Amino acid sequence: MTSGLVCVVGSVNLDTLVRLDRLPEVGETLLGQPLGSLPGGKGFNQAVAAARSSAPTRFCAQLGDDGAGQDLRREMLRAGLDVDLHLSEGVPTGSAYIAMLADSANSIIVSRGANAELTPDAAAAAVEGASVVLTQLEIDPRTAEAALAAGRRTGARTILNAAPAEGVTPSLLAVTDLLVVNETEAEALGGIDALLGAGPDALVVTLGSHGARWLTPGGDDLAVRAFEVDAVDTTGAGDAFCGALAAALAGGADALSALLRASAAGAVTTTAVGAQTELLTPAAIDRLLVGAA
C-alpha cells in the first residue's frame, strides 16, 4: 500500500497521574500530588503521535458507554484522527493509574475495561487501505493478530509493539514485519537473538536514555543515540516513538531516517507532562534532528 495511511488498532484509557517521591512498600500508604486526568492508552497515544507526525491516521478502539468514553472520543476528533470506535455496554472505558517519580521515571497500572472487548473482526475490518498497521497488547492478543494478518493480506507493513510483553505467540510474530520492544520486554520475550529468529523482518529495541537499535536477522544493526532534552515525564515516550516510527515508514522513510525521527519524537514528548503533548510536531522533530547533526 502507498496511501501513507497509518491504522492504529489498540487501547484507549483515561490516565490518572499522581506525583510521588518513591513507590510505597507493601502495606504502606503514601500521600501524592494529584496531577489530574489525561487521555492515554498505548493505542491512543501512538495514534496521536502518528497524526502529529503528519501521517493520516485511523484509530480503531473500544470504549465504554460512559462519560470517560465520550470525553475521550472528543479528544480523538480534536487530534484529527479518523476514528473507528466500538462501544461496550456495562463495561467501563479503560483506565490507567500512573505514579510519576521524582527522577521522571514512572510506574503504571492498567485496567483494560472495554479495551478487552475489541474483537478480531472489528480490528481486521479497520485496516483496509492502510500503508502501515500498528498495534500493541493492551488489547486481546488475538485481536492484535487479526489486525496484523489483515494488514498483511492487503499489502500493509505490520508493526507490533509488544507492550505489555504478554500473549506473544508464534502466530502473532508470524504476521509481524517489525517488532518494537524496550529492553525489559526484549528480555521477557527471550532476548534479542531469540526475537530475531522468531519471524519478524526487523526488530527495534528502544534503550531509553541510550537511544534505540534497528536489527535484522541478516545482521543489520543500526543504532541512534538519545536526544538530550530536559525531561519532565517519560510516560508517553515509547508510544510517541512507535507512532512517529509508523508515520515515517508510511511516508517512505528508510530504516535509519525512521529510527531518528521516532527517537526525536520520543524525546520531545518527555518535555511535557502527559503522553499526548501538543509540543510534538514535525517542526519540533526537525529541530532536534538539525541540532544533533
Grid cell at residue 237: 515516550
Considering only CA atoms, which of 156, 122, 134 is closest in space to residue 3?
156
Cα pseudo-dihedral 36, 41, 42, 47, rounded to 10: -100
CA-only gyration radius of the chain, Å? 18
Name residue, grid cell 497500572.
Answer: 109
Q: How many helices (H) and strands (E) does the chain have?
A: 10, 13
Q: Say how many Å lie between the first and final Cα of the chain, rounded.
A: 32
Annotated active-site residue in 193, 221, 239, 254 = 239
Grid cell at residue 194: 531469540
224 and 259 in contact (C-beta within 8 Å)? yes
- Residue 137 CA to residue 70 CA, distance in Å, equals 23
Whether 239 is a known active-site residue: answer yes
Name residue, grid cell 502518528.
Answer: 50
Any idea which residues carry the catalytic annotation? 239
